Amino acid sequence: MTTRLGVRDIVRNFNILEKYEYVEIEDKKSHTLKGLFVSAHLLEDVKQFIDAKLAMEKKQKLDALMPFVGMVNGAFDELTAQEIKAAKKAKYRD
């Protein structure tokens, strides 16, 4: 079960959270979302989801930067990202 509660409602009666799986916390005056309360039995699933999402975003940012890696120091001006990776693997494999 889910619902949307104001901060003041939660402060007045904290036990109200026990009957919900997650609660959207909003500012009742401006109707803006302030946060999300997740029950204990969903906590690990939410943590795994967030960790996976953050890892994917980090990988996308790094993948976007990889074509420019060789241009920084001039050593790999004409090589693609795959060629740079292969050269580094060969260098450190020996």
d(CA 53, CA 85): 25
Domain boundaries, given as residue ranges, for the chain = 2-38, 46-93
- For residue 94, the model assigns a pLDDT of 61
- For residue 75, the model assigns a pLDDT of 67
- For residue 71, the model assigns a pLDDT of 60
Structure tokens at 28: 């009742």
Q: What is the pTM of this model?
A: 0.57
What are the tens digits of pLDDT across the range 38-91?
998 999 999 999 999 999 999 999 888 877 765 666 666 677 778 888 888 888
Neighbours of 20 (CB within 10 A): 15
- For residue 73, the model assigns a pLDDT of 61
Which comes out higher in pLDDT, residue 49 or 31?
49
- For residue 2, the model assigns a pLDDT of 85
What are the tens digits of pLDDT across the range 4-16?
999 888 889 989 8
- For residue 72, the model assigns a pLDDT of 61
d(CA 19, CA 2): 9
